[in-house]
């Protein structure tokens, strides 16, 4: 188990499912002592409704999340170099994060988190896959930083 970082950035492909889930869960579990943000390689998708529903079940509110990309982060002055840790949740975001951080001394961790989009036919089947993704993220958070403090 490691001490909580001052700041962490979660990233995935579109910043619409996995990274907003991780951002919301981290904030809920460990409070506001750590600055937490999320971004995607692209931001061509809005926050996913099933993602909102799966997180709502555990008391995490994501309906106001606005997707953003790495490029927009830099445009808005949220420099990657200001983060202590980048956690990539997809192979594409890991590659992009490593490209963008090679000039900084910055840790990039990779957590292989399942992308639930497109899985399942019925609403219940789809929700099942999103819950699996949520629970994978929770498992990684607890492995890294211990039981929730909040």
Task: Summarize pLDDT for 88-122 with one digit per residue, the tens.
Answer: 999 999 999 998 888 877 889 999 999 999 999 99
Residue 48 CA to residue 45 CA, distance in Å, equals 8
Q: Is residue 53 over pLDDT 90?
A: yes
Element (H, E) at 50: helix 49-56
User: Residue range 34-39: average pLDDT?
Assistant: 93
Q: Is residue 78 over pLDDT 80?
A: no
Residues facing 138 on adjacent strands: none
| The predicted structure's pLDDT at residue 2 | 87
Contact assessment for residue 3 and residue 34, using Cβ atoms and an 8 Å cutoff = no
| The predicted structure's pLDDT at residue 75 | 83
Q: Is residue 150 over pLDDT 80?
A: no
| The predicted structure's pLDDT at residue 76 | 78
Q: Give the tens place of pLDDT for each residue, 59-75.
A: 999 998 888 998 888 88
Q: Give the tens place of pLDDT for each residue, 115-148.
A: 999 999 999 999 999 999 999 999 999 999 999 9
Residues facing 85 on adjacent strands: 8, 107
The encoded tokens of residue 72 equal 């927009």
| Distance in angstroms between the alpha carbons of the first and the last residue of the chain | 17
Element (H, E) at 141: helix 123-145
| The predicted structure's pLDDT at residue 1 | 81
Averaged pLDDT of the chain: 91
Instruction: Please give the model's pTM, rounded to 2 decimal places.
Output: 0.93
| The predicted structure's pLDDT at residue 73 | 85
């Amino acid at each position: 188990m490691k001490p909580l970082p001052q700041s962490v950035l979660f990233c995935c492909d579109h910043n619409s499912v996995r990274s907003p889930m991780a951002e919301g869960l981290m904030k809920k579990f460990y409070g506001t002592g750590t600055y937490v943000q999320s971004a995607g390689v692209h931001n061509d998708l809005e926050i996913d409704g099933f993602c909102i529903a799966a997180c709502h079940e555990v008391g995490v509110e994501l309906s106001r999340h606005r997707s953003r990309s790495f490029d927009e982060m830099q445009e808005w002055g949220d420099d990657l170099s200001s983060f202590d840790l980048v956690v990539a949740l997809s192979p594409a975001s890991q590659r992009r994060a490593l490209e963008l951080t090679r000039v900084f001394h910055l840790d990039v961790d990779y957590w292989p988190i399942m992308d639930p989009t497109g899985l399942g036919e019925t609403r219940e089947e789809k929700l099942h896959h999103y819950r699996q993704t949520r629970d994978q993220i929770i498992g990684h958070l607890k492995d890294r930083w211990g039981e929730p403090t909040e």
